[in-house]
Structure 1
Amino acid sequence: MTAEPRVHSATTSPGDITRRELYFFNLYRCLEAAVYAGLTFSPYAGEWVKVAHPLLGQITAIAYLIITVGLLLGTDRLRRRLTEGISAALFIDILAASLILVALAGHSIVPMMALVNVGIAALLLPHRAYMFAGIASLGVLAPYAYARLTDAAAEVPNAETAAIVVAYFVVAALLRYLGGHMRATEDLAAQRGVDLLNLEQINDLIIQRMKTGVLLVDAANRVLRINESAWHLIGNPSPSQRELGTIAAELSRRLYHWRHSGKTDQTAVALAADVPEVIPRFTRLAPNDDTNVLIFLDDTSLLSRRAEELTLSSLGRLSASIAHEIRNPLAAIRYSAQLLAESKLNAEDKRLVDIINNHCTRANDVVENILQLSRRERSRPESIDLNAWVLAFVEDYKQSNDLGGDHLRAVTQNRTIEAMVDPQHLQQVVWNLVQNALRYGRQPNQPARVSVVARLAAEKGPPLIEIIDRGPGIPPKVAAQIFEPFYTTHEYGTGLGLYLAKQMSEASQASLEYVPVAGGGACFRITLTPAGSLLASRIAAQPG
């Protein structure tokens, strides 16, 4: 069963709003055309409207009606070229209104109806609002100008006509402002919707990646939502199974008990075979509402690991404090042993002095490792060329240590390999691993042969550093515990070297693992972060 994506309610996009506005605008045009046809064709219109040119009015009304029906049917096509389409359609509206005014001898209902056309056009195209008002004003005044040209005694525009012209500009200005404000509000709402959607997706991703199992169960005991951890912790049931009683009977029983008694069973339980034990916790989405219940499954292995980490952290601080107190008396013992060794001693006493020095050295190594663990500095990764770094490391190690008959070599590639890592941490980790390989990675009575290899895991895989020896290898039971603190199989080992190496690797966003070598030997592999990927992730994480 995998978590289903949340279903988001559909929101109205600006394109949908524009189409709806255009549709009703064109529908209003059809209404205008019908009114014009009624005024010019109806036998009863002559009782209250003076039809001066019936034929002109009828032809105009029929042509305008055909055009408006075409505009209504072609709303989607008109939306593709919004500015040109609305401008051309409004010009047709004003032309039809002017001709109807001529046919009706200047009836006032026509310019009043055109006022709506101007307002809607200004609302849809705010940047052309005043142009539309000017065109409409010319359309209203044109019949009077035509009448004066054909008849000198014709009436001139009166106060009502002047008021209509002023109204065109006032309505255009008002709806121009409202249109701009409306679009700003739409843009803000759309941006808020995107932000909310992104936030919801981030929340879903966080819940899916949580180590704690999370289930949402309704009143009918059906699982509505489940994250990946919970899916694994209840045994990876089929996605078609939604009944909690079927996929996790014990969890269903505890939920029933909690619903009716309000008490939670805190004992750990395994909800399926071969899965970790969990401790279920229940909570309501709303107080006093059992409709939906959130169930949290706390993995006891994670809790134990966290407790172990806290214990190790506390133990590290305590050990560091003790180590500081041990160093002074340890130095005094070692100094006294050195002075005693300079005296004339028999063979038995010299052997005892050697034992004191050896154990002082071992104790001092333990103290140094503990202090190194407690004062480990924060990682400061930088981009390095692994080929050059490995060559320099091997050369430096050879100069600083007498290898005797042992062999240490660097293996590099004929291509650039870049990685992001703290060079100081990497130096300590590889130094420790090489020392272990030279000390333990040898066949009996044979020199050690150790290689420090720089390579890529695959063609586009992460960069690797491998420390490989040709010794007897590490038994599987021992290999499973070698990175645990204070675990050692050597008489004089501290059990902290590999633990420190792993901790330093992880601090540089790398990983350290043991890999058996076919044919005998051991390989400690450090998987590093590619230089480009870490840099890109850091840039993406920066604000703004």
Structure 2
Amino acid sequence: MTSYLWSRGDPATDWSSLEKFISTQSPAQLRLWRGFMAARCFVAAVLLLLQGIGLAIGAQPANLPAIALSSAYVVAVLVAARYAPFKPMRGLGGAWLYTIGLDLVAYTALQVMQVGGINYTPLFALPVLMGAVLGTSAVGLGTTAAATLLLLGHAAWYWVEQPSDTSPRIVQAALSGTGLFVVALLAHELARRLTREEALAQRSRSAAQMHALLNDLVIETLSEGVLVVDAEGQVHAANPAADAILGQGLARIPLPFALSAHPAWVPLAALARQTFARRSSQAREIPIAQSQGTPREVRVRTRLTQSRDMRTESLCVIFLQDLRELEARIRTEKLAAMGRMSAAVAHEIRNPLAAITQASALLGEDLVDPAHRQLTTMVQQNAQRLARIVDDVLDVARARQQRVLPLDEQVSLDSTVRTLAEEWVLHSKQQGVLLSLDAPGCDVRFDVEHLRRILVNLLDNAARYAGDREGSIQVGTRVSPAGRASLQVWSDGAPLEPAVQRHLFEPFFSSESRSSGLGLFLCRELCERHGATIGYERRALSPGGAEGNEFFVAFAPAESRLTQ
């Protein structure tokens, strides 16, 4: 996209800027140049044709110099029309010489060699117009002065040859010169106005293109969905966020299309019609049916564009906002402050926990009864567990650097997963859980308590949406050909919506209002602390089998475990 900026001064008076525009970007001036070239070719052909016709019918004696001059003039103008480049005429230079100068010389010579009373004076209007339109004011006036002087010179030469008949010719030459000056001034002013208008139009067009590109970029990157609808209910524009929110393959529908054509979007079309009828903005929360999953609650706001004239119709711009994402952002902002407060509370909890641990240890030294010693041991264990939870809360709140675990803090993957999964089944009384452990002898550097927290969280999520049949939840381990161990928790639940998948591991985002949305976020934080990654995919466990939701944990590679 090109744009033109005036280098200095006012566009209405800065002729040098106009010349720059003419020489680089003015299609109108280029068309005028081609028109003048075509006119010169036509005049040359007519002159040669008139010479031939006069000679053929014997209306005038043979004038071989005039015929030769007309022939040479035809060749010269054809060559100029074919090869001469368009250049603005800033002075009486080369461009002026092989066009206007050539015309003045040719017409003057024909005027001198005229036979039979033919008057070539009207032809001088062509070079005068060409200089006034395609050149500066100095070029236009200079060309007109040259043509006038040539006409007066011819009249003076005729006076020398025939002194008895000079007055009419001199008067005729003076009147012709006066008329040429008037034509030159008017043509030059019209050419300047044409150039100014074209320059302004080009600048307005460039600005409009730039604004259109900026608007497209802004709309494309908006997190809110945007639909542009006319009064007939036709959608003329939509951004990717609208496609994600509406969830019916909006991006694949060619524009424009009727908003009411899809049953799920009929409420949006009705709201657009209401906006046009009332000529005011509307806002409403509407459930939008999805191709998969439950309907999505969407906040819809409409705005009418302002038309600058009566011929331009207003458009309705519909803004779509997923209420779940909005609520998640609000909760994130609110809970961010709560997180800072929880870090302070965790600091305060540390001191009583230390006192409880120390007191139970001292008490255990004096106790003899095994039952009492067992109670103090339980107190110590749970106090230590609470202390570790406090440390984890502080780690998340501060987002501090990952803690590097000792090299000897490794666990046997299969035996640990089996123990933790059996404990969860016993505690939750969930039926239909299958184990498929295929990483025998594989050790991973991971804290057992953190692995417990991750596995319990994933199993709780799976049990919430899985069926009751055998194998509806499956826990597995495997080792990739590259030697990287992984843990998988698969369930036969319904597929997750794309909007939910994008925010699975973000804090405080949940598809259920009763959930805090911290479970998967903490799982991700714990995995990253140990150099592992957690992810989600929709897949079938076997070819042709039923698809389900699988969360997997890929542990750090073996070489990473050895070098840390």
Q: In which range does the TM-score fall when normalised by the shorter chain?
A: 0.5 to 0.7
CA distance in 1, matches of 2:320, 2:124: 73
Aligned CA distance change for structure 1 residues 64 and 182 (closer, same or farther; 3 Å): farther
Which residue of structure 1 lines up, in the alignment, with residue 260 of structure 2?
245
Q: Alpha-carbon deviation of 1:88?
A: 2.8
Instruction: Tell whether 2:301 aligns with 1:281.
Output: yes
Give, as a single letter, the amino acid of the residue that structure 2 aligns with 1:270.
I
Aligned CA distance change for structure 1 residues 207 and 140 (closer, same or farther; 3 Å): same
Contact 2:226 2:319 in 1 (8 A): yes
Which residue of structure 2 lines up, in the alignment, with residue 212 of structure 1?
224
Aligned CA distance change for structure 1 residues 230 and 502 (closer, same or farther; 3 Å): farther
CA distance in 1, matches of 2:248, 2:540: 35
Aligned CA distance change for structure 1 residues 260 and 496 (closer, same or farther; 3 Å): closer
Give, as a single letter, the amino acid of the residue that structure 2 aligns with 1:21.
L
Aligned CA distance change for structure 1 residues 437 and 15 (closer, same or farther; 3 Å): farther
Q: Alpha-carbon deviation of 1:285?
A: 1.3
Which residue of structure 1 lines up, in the alignment, with residue 322 of structure 2?
299
Which residue of structure 1 lines up, in the alignment, with residue 104 of structure 2?
94
1:436-455 equivalences under 5 Å are: 436=447, 440=451
Which residue of structure 2 lines up, in the alignment, with residue 202 of structure 1?
214
Q: Which runs of 5+ in 2 are unaligned?
A: 1-21, 55-60, 89-93, 414-443, 453-476, 510-517, 543-549, 557-564
Which residue of structure 2 lines up, in the alignment, with residue 235 of structure 1?
248
CA distance in 2, matches of 1:70, 1:328: 102
Instruction: Tell whether 2:381 aligns with 1:358.
Output: yes
Which residue of structure 2 lines up, in the alignment, with residue 49 of structure 1?
none
Q: Alpha-carbon deviation of 1:284?
A: 1.5
Q: Alpha-carbon deviation of 1:110?
A: 7.1
Which residue of structure 1 lines up, in the alignment, with residue 417 of structure 2?
none
Q: Alpha-carbon deviation of 1:406?
A: 5.8
Which residue of structure 2 lines up, in the alignment, with residue 540 of structure 1?
none
Which residue of structure 2 lines up, in the alignment, with residue 402 of structure 1?
408
**Equivalent position to 1:122, from 135, 149, 166:** 135
1:495-514 equivalences under 5 Å are: 497-500=522-525, 513=535
Q: Alpha-carbon deviation of 1:207?
A: 2.0
Aligned CA distance change for structure 1 residues 316 and 524 (closer, same or farther; 3 Å): farther
Give, as a single letter, the amino acid of the residue that structure 2 aligns with 1:246.
A
CA distance in 1, matches of 2:523, 2:506: 8
CA distance in 1, matches of 2:315, 2:270: 16
Contact 1:212 1:296 in 2 (8 A): yes
3-state secondary structure, aligned to 1:286: coil
Give, as a single letter, the amino acid of the residue that structure 2 aligns with 1:19.
L
Which residue of structure 2 lines up, in the alignment, with residue 444 of structure 1?
none
Which residue of structure 2 lines up, in the alignment, with residue 435 of structure 1?
446
Contact 1:60 1:100 in 2 (8 A): no
Higher mean C-alpha displacement, 511-520 vs 192-201 = 511-520
CA distance in 2, matches of 1:39, 1:450: 100
Q: Which runs of 5+ in 1 are unaligned?
A: 1-11, 44-52, 380-392, 408-432, 442-448, 456-466, 488-492, 527-544
Q: Alpha-carbon deviation of 1:59?
A: 3.2
Q: Alpha-carbon deviation of 1:20?
A: 1.0
Aligned CA distance change for structure 1 residues 374 and 292 (closer, same or farther; 3 Å): same
CA distance in 2, matches of 1:142, 1:277: 87
**Equivalent position to 2:287, from 269, 278, 298:** 269
1:442-480: per-residue Cα shift (whole Å, max 9, x none)? xxxxxxx99999x9xxxxxxxxxxx9436x643448999
Which residue of structure 1 lines up, in the alignment, with residue 332 of structure 2?
309
Q: Alpha-carbon deviation of 1:196?
A: 3.8
CA distance in 2, matches of 1:365, 1:495: 19
3-state secondary structure, aligned to 1:435: coil
CA distance in 2, matches of 1:263, 1:112: 63
Aligned CA distance change for structure 1 residues 495 and 236 (closer, same or farther; 3 Å): closer
Aligned CA distance change for structure 1 residues 484 and 88 (closer, same or farther; 3 Å): closer
Aligned CA distance change for structure 1 residues 452 and 153 (closer, same or farther; 3 Å): farther
CA distance in 1, matches of 2:551, 2:254: 46
1:143-182 equivalences under 5 Å are: none
3-state secondary structure, aligned to 1:225: strand
Contact 1:473 1:522 in 2 (8 A): yes
Q: Alpha-carbon deviation of 1:292?
A: 2.6
Which residue of structure 2 lines up, in the alignment, with residue 103 of structure 1?
113
Which residue of structure 2 lines up, in the alignment, with residue 327 of structure 1?
350
1:177-192 equivalences under 5 Å are: 190=202
Which residue of structure 2 lines up, in the alignment, with residue 539 of structure 1?
none
RMSD: 6.4
**Equivalent position to 1:524, from 526, 539, 554:** 554
3-state secondary structure, aligned to 2:305: strand
CA distance in 2, matches of 1:187, 1:354: 89
CA distance in 2, matches of 1:111, 1:345: 129
CA distance in 1, matches of 2:259, 2:139: 66
Contact 2:409 2:445 in 1 (8 A): no
CA distance in 1, matches of 2:197, 2:313: 39
Q: Alpha-carbon deviation of 1:96?
A: 0.9
**Equivalent position to 1:26, from 18, 31, 37:** 37
3-state secondary structure, aligned to 1:266: strand
1:134-149 equivalences under 5 Å are: none
Contact 2:227 2:238 in 1 (8 A): yes
1:34-89: per-residue Cα shift (whole Å, max 9, x none)? 9989999999xxxxxxxxx9947853784477458847xx85x4465759877533
Q: Give % identity.
A: 19
TM-score by length of 2: 0.52
Give, as a single letter, the amino acid of the residue that structure 2 aligns with 1:325.
E
**Equivalent position to 2:489, from 456, 459, 474:** 474
Aligned CA distance change for structure 1 residues 266 and 78 (closer, same or farther; 3 Å): same
Contact 1:323 1:367 in 2 (8 A): yes
Q: Alpha-carbon deviation of 1:219?
A: 2.1
TM-score by length of 1: 0.54
Count of paired positions: 417
3-state secondary structure, aligned to 2:257: coil
3-state secondary structure, aligned to 1:513: strand
CA distance in 2, matches of 1:436, 1:475: 22
1:313-348: per-residue Cα shift (whole Å, max 9, x none)? 24323322322332333343344445555x444354
Which residue of structure 2 lines up, in the alignment, with residue 59 of structure 1?
67
1:213-259: per-residue Cα shift (whole Å, max 9, x none)? 32222222333333344345172365377233323333333444455
3-state secondary structure, aligned to 1:269: strand
1:176-208: per-residue Cα shift (whole Å, max 9, x none)? xx99x9989978875764454244123224324
CA distance in 1, matches of 2:345, 2:408: 34
CA distance in 1, matches of 2:43, 2:127: 9
CA distance in 2, matches of 1:477, 1:370: 32
Aligned CA distance change for structure 1 residues 337 and 87 (closer, same or farther; 3 Å): farther
CA distance in 2, matches of 1:354, 1:494: 29
